[in-house]
Structure 1
Amino acid sequence: MFDVVIIGAGPAGLTAGIYTSRGGLKTGIVELAMPGGQAASTEKIENYPGFPEGVNGYELMNAFHQQALSFGAEFIFEEVQTFDLKDPVKKIQTESRVLEARSIIIAAGSKPRLLGVPGEEFFKGRGVSYCATCDGAFFKGKKVAVIGGGDAALEEGVYLTRFAEEVIIIHRREGFRASQIAVNRAKENPKIRFELNCVVEEILGSDYVEGVRVRNVLDSTKREIPAAGVFIYVGTDPNAQFIHGEIKTDERGYIYTNQYLQTNIEGVYAAGDIRDTPLRQVATAVGDGALAAAEVEKYLSGTPNS
């Protein structure tokens, strides 16, 4: 029996675990992969306070992980399959066991959104990637394409220039959703070129990626762009595959919470990227984790906010 089970070990889940375990609550943190979530695969985080030169995402998240361990949080490295939330004691079904908890914080985060074009699924691991930090070194001296126009696309595109001969950023518009500083850095990098007003219609190759077919959205012309790798950054979707009906979500699957991060189920809270929130950053996830932990402590002491 846990006082609180936290689902997900990204910035929000780890922060919540630091707070709850330090506060004396018996804390279990369930995580399918390595601690840190998407932040752990980010080469350099420049907008997290306290690091004027930036910080490596893996190193930052490893520090979060070690801090949670130091206060006694227990990590269960399994996948959550479903849960039963109707009773005061909640039940979480993983691959090999049923965990019981007096409260739950859902901090499962989000995952890269698929592009949804022919060839994407077939070439996963054979040239299609969603993580430049993980796979960039495989493309030393080669041409790669980056799909997207947000901060992740441009920042990871710049990172890929460490290895690639050329990085082609393909974006469906003329303008970018990314911050101006990210745009400027990409435009100033001589190894980056842009293919704007273009959408990818197919990823091409035989055994491995050899290029992409793009369509110009202004004149509908199509052409092929050679590339040995395709890095896709077109947004995220919530890791909500285990949520079935009990918890209220929006049409995309992001969890609705009130200002205290309570869901519609008593004793169940949500924090970080998986909830319906206007900003998804490490800093906001950390704030969510701290608030959710504080609210769990109030709930378990019988003085919850309404």
Structure 2
Amino acid sequence: MGLQIVRTVAELRAAVRGWRADGQTVGLVPTMGALHEGHLSLVQAAKGRCSRVVATLFVNPKQFNNPDDLNSYPRSEEDDAAKLTGAGADVLYAPSVNEMYPQGFATTVSVAGVSEGLCGAHRPGHFDGVATVVSKLFLQSGADMAFFGEKDFQQLAVIRRMVLDLDMPIEIVGMPTVRDADGLALSSRNQRLSEAGRAAAPALARVLASAARSIEAGGDIASTLQDASTSIKAGGFKSVEYIELRDAESLDPMVSLDRPARLLAAAWIDSVRLIDNVAVLPPIASY
């Protein structure tokens, strides 16, 4: 049987009930479409651990603080469905805005702490929108596991915190960032880069990797981050929104490398906002 496309909660739950009756497990891969190999790697990971895989396609208006960004977000359901068929997904759940947020919808899920700073500081309301829609997808699907890429590292931290705090019966699986051969993290937003912008964009990943190695070798964190910001702009980016070293679990700011950390950055090129992050590990003896 090929990919089944469903658009209502009732249809999705009916499909899942059938699988459950046969004792099958369900993996969920939430997306906003414009699928690339990073998304498909999540589908493949879900297939490796679950009997059935549901991929979702919903451009969530509640997580866009900029209406222009929402309107320009790439949409390609037919192409996405073909890719999901090739990747072996069982169901594509593609609800309308009215299905997800019907008349009178009045609930927001908000996660404090890990949602603050970084992207949260520059995109007001973004993570409330993420937490709200993801909690609904978890409840609508009843999935056993949900798979997310580490490229959106703060988002992953928000979802993990939400699941822990609300005792949601689902396992969150974070998967490594998938990159092009030149190091650029795969993102649906990459489609909006000009030829020159696309050629310059890998500088973000290169600089982050170099800064991470410097910090791991004992380099001063503050000066390393300042130098990295300068290097990103010299590499062709218009501006650096942030570049910070954070605790890998709590996302608390760090001034010394005494536990596993993450170096995270957001920068603008071609009027496109790109994000990336890399792991930074202290000497084994320090943790």
Structure 1 and Structure 2 fold alike (TM over 0.5): no
More strand by share: 1
- Relative contact order, higher structure (CA 8 A, sep 6+): 1
TM-score normalised by length of structure 1: 0.26
- Between structure 1 and structure 2, the one with the greater Rg is 1
Richer in helix (by share): 2
